[in-house]
Amino acid sequence: MKPVLVGLALLLILATALPLVRLDHWWIRIFDFPRGQITIAGVVVLAVYLRFWDKKHVYESIVLGLLVLAVGYQAMKMFPYTVLMPEQVLQAESPSDDANLSLLVANVLMENRKSDAFLEIVRAYDPDIILTVEADDWWEESLRTLEQEYPHTLKNPRDNTYGMLVHSRLEMVDPTIRFILEDSIPSMHMQVVLPSKDRVFLHFVHPAPPNPRYATDTTGRDAELLIVGREAEKQDTPTIVTGDFNDVAWSYTTSLFQKASGLLDPRIGRGMFNTYNAKSLFMRWPLDHVFHSDHFKLVRMETGPAWGSDHFPIFIELSLEPGAEADQVEPDASRTEGAQVDEMIEDGRQQSEE
């Protein structure tokens, strides 16, 4: 029993320590994802370990100390996404329909063919803008029925799981499809005009995941997110960055993205809003994100139901409110973090040129 406990403790310690190594290998970065699961497993192992711990054996005490540190560190990383943390985005006080913006973000899972189920979700939430990722030509054709209510579209369907569609009932200004680092991975950028005549910058992204099937490292993913973050930071106007980041909210990269962009995370103080994996009860984490500038306050945010994809959709409604900037504190990167952002962007650009 005791050797098994020690072995499990060492595995959890290793899973905690690996992401601290600043290397982009997928098999290291993948341990950023299951921090919640590692925390729960760590608490269970720690409770049993204490029952069998023999203080006379120094190595057992060392392992115990490291396990306590590992569990504490994982819990610290998860803490911001609990209701015990103050909310980073305040609840809207005086939302106005003319200045509200609602988004439905959904990774449809390219081979999934349950478009009717997805259209039911669209009807239930009735968003102003719909972003679908992993959309191929079949999905583009299946969602054309939306264009009666959502006449403004930007489309780049693809058969490589990086296709992207945007349907909007709001007017688009300068809609652009860009390939920031890879010719096979599009991103979409535009402004939309609210009924109040205010304009909002939107950036839609879906970089490659840390998975040897798609990318053996996270260099490109990290650089694309940080490039978009830097661009968002320069826009001193209402801005939203959303999509399937293929990264979790508590990772080092997403933390740098938030600081580089100065955008707020409405999940902080409210919950994790796990969107993946809808087909697994235990292995779930937040891959689909909505970050926004401090011009907005939150009206409503929730994950939608399972419907056939391996992602739950995420719905958010934001209120553009005068004075919101004064009530909310935007993140900011230190000089060291800014230099790290520059380095990671340059690494990604160099890799894309090779």
Please give the mean pLDDT across all residues of the chain: 95
Decide if pLDDT at 315 tops 90. Answer: yes
Averaged pLDDT, 206-224: 91
Look up the CATH number of domain 97-347: 3.60.10.10
Q: Are strands 288-292 and 239-244 parallel, antiparallel or unpaired?
A: antiparallel
pLDDT of residue 279: 95
Averaged pLDDT, 169-194: 97
Averaged pLDDT, 126-132: 98
- The residue type at 3: P
Percentage of the residues of the chain whose pLDDT score is greater than 70: 100
Classify the C-alpha dihedral 43-49-53-58 as positive or negative: negative
Least confident of 166-170, 211-215, 267-271, 294-298: 211-215
pLDDT of residue 336: 94
In tens, the pLDDT along 75-97 reads 999 999 999 999 999 999 878 88
Decide if pLDDT at 65 tops 80. Answer: yes
Decide if pLDDT at 354 tops 80. Answer: no
**Distance between alpha carbon 331 and the CA centroid of its chain, in Å?**
16
Q: In what order do the strands lie in the sheet with 199-205?
A: 171-178, 187-193, 199-205, 239-244, 288-292
pLDDT of residue 1: 65
Decide if pLDDT at 327 tops 90. Answer: yes
pLDDT of residue 59: 87
